[in-house]
Structure 1
Amino acid sequence: MGIVVVEICDSNFLLSLNIEEIIESKYPEVAVLFNDCLGFCGLCRLKPYAMVNGKRIHGKTPEECLEKIKEAIEAELAFYA
């Protein structure tokens, strides 16, 4: 498991991207986990979002959300550098 954890709901719009491969290939210290539900009822159907080390990250499109996730990962990794 990585030092940064990205959690994604199984019903999320982010699943239109191969997010696990994209993130874990670029950031080997990151673990991408998929959950049935992250407890933000209905949010996964409204807009793409993920939890990065417990912080909610969202965007208007899956691509925008992915970029914001990468920024959050970079900020988390900077803490450990």
Structure 2
Amino acid sequence: MDGLVVIEVCANNRLAKGWLDEVEMRVPGTAVMETDCVNTCGLCQVRAFAYVNGKLVYDAEPEVCVRKIEDEARALLRWLNTAEDEAGAP
């Protein structure tokens, strides 16, 4: 199930400096991808943020933002697992 939920962060963002290093271990099924730019001009200067499967998750405080990112990733994984169960997938 590796990389089922992608967390994308801009290299210039406050979260890129080690805040997301352990998210993949704490939330199995996630993959953190650091890119040069995610085309959200200016947001990285004022907010900690990342995209979780394309959904913007942000907060003024990096610690709070990481918790929100993990919560969003867990919710998506629960939803994906439920959808698989309903479809009869293994």
Q: What is the SS of the residue equivalent to 2:40?
A: coil
Gaps of 5+ in 1: none
Q: TM-score, normalised by structure 1?
A: 0.90
Q: TM-score, normalised by structure 2?
A: 0.82
Q: Distance in 2 between matches of 1:74 and 1:31?
A: 12
Task: Name which one, 1 or 2, has greater alpha-carbon Rg.
Answer: 2
Alignment match, 2:77: 77
Kindly report which structure 2 residues correspond to 1:5-24, keeping only aligned pairs within 5 A, or say none.
5-20=6-21, 22-24=22-24
Deviation at 1:27, TM superposition (A): 1.9
Superposed CA RMSD: 1.2
Q: Distance in 1 between matches of 2:46 and 2:31?
A: 24
Answer yes or no: is the 8 Å Cα contact 1:6–1:30 preserved in 2: yes
Runs of 4+ deviating beyond 2 Å: 15-18
The number of equivalent residue pairs is 80
Gaps of 5+ in 2: 82-90
Deviation at 1:16, TM superposition (A): 3.8
Range 33-42 or range 23-32, more displaced: 23-32
1:12-64, Cα deviation, whole Å (9 max, x unpaired): 111344413x2111123110000100001011111100000000000111001
